[in-house]
Amino acid sequence: MRLLLISDTHVPKRARGLPEQLWREVEAADVVIHAGDWVDAGFLTGLERRSRRLVGVFGNNDGPELRSRLPEVARVELGGLRLAVVHETGPAKGRAARCAREYPDADVLVFGHSHIPWDEVAPGGLRLLNPGSPTDRRRQPFCTYMTARIAGQELCDVRLHRLPRRGGTDPV
């Protein structure tokens, strides 16, 4: 099972849309996971249409319409792995231990908010993944997203991908 992990797209505030490279990843993915800060409900609708399966949550920049359509925390079992998705996890210091306590029933936690890519294993084995942002790099050198696979009830081939410095140009 092929996964695409994205967060903090901020469409259309930070970019008109996603880069074409990322739309190709959407089409190739079995499941797209979005960890919040969509900003526009039309973008959610467009991503739902173009994804085989979409798992998403709302972020701190998402208004009432998005909050009415998305949960704060999403939990899903994929290929025998238990995933949780949330936008914010608090400060980086102590994140792994804190998340292990808050999500004891998950094998993988996908989060966003910081726009900073993150890949860490917490005490007890919880894998924490933040794909960064494909449209707003902030102080990071590149805009980013992640891909991964689930095979044999294990997360494998987790890869961080860099995008060109320009934001997305392909509207939904």
CATH number, domain at 86?
3.60.21.10
- Does residue 12 register a pLDDT over 60? yes
20 belongs to a structural domain: yes
β-bridge pairing 143-151 and 31-34: unpaired
What average pLDDT does the segment 78-103 reach? 97
Residue-level pLDDT at 164 = 77
Among the residue ranges 38-42, 89-93, 138-142, the one predicted with the least confidence is 138-142
Decide: 145 and 22 in contact? Cβ < 8 Å.
yes
Residue-level pLDDT at 168 = 46
Question: Where does the pLDDT of residue 166 fall: very low under 50, low under 70, confident under 90, or very high at 90 and above?
Answer: low
168 belongs to a structural domain: no
Tens of pLDDT, residue by residue over 51-88, are 999 999 999 999 999 999 999 999 999 999 999 999 99
- Three-state secondary-structure class, residue 101: helix
74 belongs to a structural domain: yes
107 belongs to a structural domain: yes
- In the block, tokens 């998403």 appear at 56
- What rounded mean pLDDT belongs to the chain? 93
CA-CA distance, 160 to 151, in Å (whole number)?
18
Q: How far is CA 163 from CA 1, 6, 60, in A?
A: 23, 12, 24
Structurally, the chain folds into a number of domains equal to 1
171 belongs to a structural domain: no
- Does residue 108 register a pLDDT over 80? yes
What average pLDDT does the segment 110-136 reach? 96
Query: Which structural domain, as residue segments, surrounds residue 136?
Result: 2-163
3-class secondary structure per residue, 143-161: EEEEEEEEECCEEEEEEEE
143 belongs to a structural domain: yes
112 belongs to a structural domain: yes
170 belongs to a structural domain: no
- Does residue 170 register a pLDDT over 60? no
Q: Is 102 left (phi over 0), alpha (psi -120 to 50) or beta?
A: alpha
Residue-level pLDDT at 165 = 62
Report the Cα 22 to chain-centroid distance in Å. Answer: 13
Question: Where does the pLDDT of residue 15 fall: very low under 50, low under 70, confident under 90, or very high at 90 and above?
Answer: confident
Percent of the chain with pLDDT strictly greater than 70:
95
Q: Which two tokens mark 102?
A: 């808050």
